[in-house]
Amino acid sequence: MKISVLGAGNAGCAVAADLTLKGHEVTLIKTSHALHDDNFEYLLANNGAMTLDEFGDVRTAHIHKVTRDVSEISGSKVVIIFIQTKFHEQLIERIEPYLRDGQLLLIVPGYLSTAYVLKHCKKDVIIAEGESSFVDGRILELGRFRVGFRNVRNPVGVYPKAKREEAFKMLEQLDENIVPLNSVVEAALHNPNVIVHTVGTVMSIPWIEKTQKEFCLYHDAYARTNVATWRVLEALDSEKMNIIEKLGFERLSYVDACKYRNSLDDAIDGKEVFLEYAEMPIRSKGPAKVESRYITEDIPQGLVMLEALGKALNVQTPIATSLIEIASAALGRDLRKEGRTPHTLGEENIRKIISDCKE
């Protein structure tokens, strides 16, 4: 199947290589000059050679095409967006002329960017949102990605509901353990980063400033002994579940969503699944500074949206609000001004999405 991957960072490069090794014809498209330009130039000069190092199993994929030309998406059946969520709207506007009817547009993670597609796209595309990347890890050196973890399930929601069966016929061909959710709303709100990145980073600001490149979010913020941080995480998670419930969906805790993605063992406790994931010895360090995407992306795109939905639904979100305030003070800027809200997403678009999954 012809697939375009938009975004040539860690996730984009890894998934493009993985799908190539699974027999798909993949076009990897660099959408900016912000990060990983050196790795992109390496791919251009080396016939798209991207190596996946997965616990000693080393395989090299030669990605079919590596380019900066977003018009290349027109020839693909599936288009996958793997860029920072704060750039979703402008990218969707940019690629709209090249989308065509019948394509599947998969956004991972989505944070409800389906609303941006409805806002800017007039094409009859099927929209899907995932919770997290299929392949977790980091680019260690040019052309080489170290795989840290793979989800055993990758939950994905589809809009519109009437195209769900058609969408999953295409998604199954990716061979990435994709499973259905009831709606893109669930995919948006179960993005793990809105909980784990925000709490772990904000609670660790002094430690990040002191240790810098030695800080490891999962090892340091979520050690088994860090009871206080865990209590904050659970309090924020409770606010999120209150919003999910008010929207008409089932309550699902962060740890149980993590368990569903990460483990096939139904008997194991959800928190234990997360702690085992956090304690994995092969862990990429980071964030190395306070002004990182763990705050600059996941607070305005995640917590600001959560807070705004809470206000619209009359659900209290004191923890989300506190984290936004602290992070804004730490960076010396108003993160709400950078965030996504029902207004920026389009309230009518949100109503369409929620109404669609209730039909």
Q: What is the pLDDT of residue 282?
A: 75
Instruction: Tell me how far apart the alpha carbons of residues 103 and 246 are, in angstroms, rounded to a whole number.
Output: 32
Based on the fold, state whether residues 299 and 216 are members of the same structural domain: yes
Q: What is the pLDDT of residue 190?
A: 96
Based on the fold, state whether residues 170 and 240 are members of the same structural domain: no
**Mean pLDDT across the stretch 218-230?**
94
Based on the fold, state whether residues 232 and 328 are members of the same structural domain: yes
Q: Which H/E stretch holds residue 93?
A: helix 88-95
Q: What is the pLDDT of residue 357?
A: 83
The 8-class DSSP code of residue 46 comes to T
Q: Given pLDDT bands bounded at 50, 70 and 90, which one contains residue 240?
A: very high
Based on the fold, state whether residues 201 and 282 are members of the same structural domain: yes
**pLDDT surpasses 90 at 153:** yes
Q: What are the distances in angstroms from CA 8 to CA 12, 35, 227, 284, 308?
A: 5, 9, 37, 18, 31
Q: Given pLDDT bands bounded at 50, 70 and 90, which one contains residue 33?
A: confident
- What would the two tokens of residue 55 be? 């616990």
Based on the fold, state whether residues 198 and 346 are members of the same structural domain: yes
**pLDDT surpasses 90 at 163:** yes
Q: What is the pLDDT of residue 174?
A: 97
**Start-to-end Cα distance in the chain:** 31
Q: Given pLDDT bands bounded at 50, 70 and 90, which one contains residue 301?
A: very high
**Mean pLDDT across the stretch 163-189?**
97
Based on the fold, state whether residues 110 and 59 are members of the same structural domain: yes
Peptide bond into 287 cis (omega under 30): yes
Based on the fold, state whether residues 147 and 200 are members of the same structural domain: no
Based on the fold, state whether residues 214 and 66 are members of the same structural domain: no
Based on the fold, state whether residues 84 and 199 are members of the same structural domain: no
The CATH number that applies at residue 178 is: 3.40.50.720
Based on the fold, state whether residues 255 and 167 are members of the same structural domain: no
How much of the chain exceeds pLDDT 90, in percent?
92
Domain boundary among 155, 184, 213: 184
Domain boundary among 184, 211, 229: 184
DSSP secondary structure, 171-234, as one string: HHHT-S-EEE-S-HHHHHHT-THHHHHHHHHHTTHHHHHHHGGG-BIIIIIT-TT-HHHHHHHH
**Mean pLDDT across the stretch 286-294?**
94
Based on the fold, state whether residues 229 and 175 are members of the same structural domain: no
Number of domains in the chain: 2
Higher pLDDT, 281 or 333: 333
Based on the fold, state whether residues 286 and 254 are members of the same structural domain: yes
Residue with tokens 């979520």: 222
Domain boundary among 167, 184, 201: 184
- Read off the pTM: 0.96
Which residues form the domain of 176? 2-184
The CATH number that applies at residue 204 is: 1.10.1040.10
